[in-house]
Amino acid sequence: MIPKPLSTRSLLELIGLFDLSNQSLTDAEGQRLRGVPGWDIFRGTSLSAGEIAEWTECVGYAGSYPAPCGDERVPVELQEDSDPTRYRYRCPETFRRKSVAAAEVAVYAVRVPKLLHVVADLLDVPQALRRGIEAPAIDGVLWKIGKARIGPAHTDIWFVRSLASCIDDVFRHLHSQTLPDQGLVLSSGVVPPDFVRPPRNYRFASVHELIVDYLPEPRMDLDLLHRILTAPADGTLRPVLPVHFDEYTNTLTIRSKPKPWHIRGERQPAAVKYLYQQACNDRWMVPANEILKAAFPDRETFRSLRMQSLFSGNAFWEDYIVSDGNGQYGFRLD
């Protein structure tokens, strides 16, 4: 049976669990387990039992449990029950024996390669370039996802978790002269503060900020990713616009629309590029004759030309460009 695709909300929650999956807990025999206890997953996320089973694995059972005690919770020792689906503990308020479901005290770890392949899919990383997903650069902490096209160039993409606890090791690895001078490091949690200078020309970005959270299906904000990659080392970003035009691929992206517009030919991309340049200068409605001049720089007069003629043969151009009724045009942002 083919698993159901993850929703945006489920993916974001799984990435949050992935970041926590590196934390250490102790089982009843004193052995260290790395993962997230069931009581945090079931109370702190909306993941279904099927999603938990599909995307995580049980690595053991916690040796203690935060039992209710008044308005607080206090850790109590767990013991196995005759019922294999339950664990027993002594109530800190009544001192009577109580039980809790084994699923709640189980420790779960997110399946690393499976989740990272989803992120690689969102970035269109070719399968042949994903070998680093199966062989971490720093065990349990840092992976190379592969190369992705960000703006005009292909860039090395890395993925890190629990960065706050391993930042020295990660920086040391990225300073290696055997690696390219530039790359993007996606974090499942925090990113370095602005006053911390990243290694060489590497830039860090939080996956939670990059995934467009208002769409039902996951999509990466490639415009934001490109701005982060090209930002100066102090982390200063250019202003966020609701629209972006990639002149290298002739692709228009409007944040409120689920699909980008891949524009073909020569004239139409030139017109859209001009509109985008004006939007960057805070001119959101532009006279048609200016747009047509940008599309037909070799013509002296535009009296016989209309926007409808320019975009003839493109049935959905009006989904992205709108007229104010007075001869001016701009991007349809709704």
Per-residue pLDDT tens over the stretch 104-113: 999 999 999 9
DSSP state of 300: S
State the Cα–Cα distance between residues 156 and 203, nearest whole angstrom.
11
DSSP state of 326: S
Tokens encoding 258: 């689920």
Span 33-79, pLDDT tens digits: 999 999 999 988 999 989 999 999 999 999 999 999 988 999 999 99
State the Cα–Cα distance between residues 266 and 254, nearest whole angstrom.
21
- pLDDT at res. 66: 95
State the Cα–Cα distance between residues 168 and 165, nearest whole angstrom.
8
Total number of residues shown for the chain = 334
Question: Which residue, among 32, 18, 37, has the nearest Cα to 107 in the 3D structure?
Answer: 37
Pairing of strands 64-69, 56-61: unpaired
With tokens 């985008």, the residue in question is: 276
Q: Where are the domains of the chain?
A: 8-110, 112-230, 243-331
Q: How many CA atoms lie within 13 A of 173 on its CB side?
A: 18
State the Cα–Cα distance between residues 146 and 186, nearest whole angstrom.
12
- pLDDT at res. 239: 56
Tokens encoding 277: 């340049």
Span 150-179, pLDDT tens digits: 877 789 999 999 999 999 999 999 999 888
- pLDDT at res. 303: 61
- pLDDT at res. 265: 86
Q: DSSP assignment of 141-170, as one string? A: TEEEEEEEEETTEEEEEEEESSHHHHHHHH
Question: Which residue, among 21, 18, 20, 10, has the nearest Cα to 47 in the 3D structure?
Answer: 10
- pLDDT at res. 1: 43
The segments of the chain whose pLDDT lies below 70 read 1-3, 233-240, 300-304
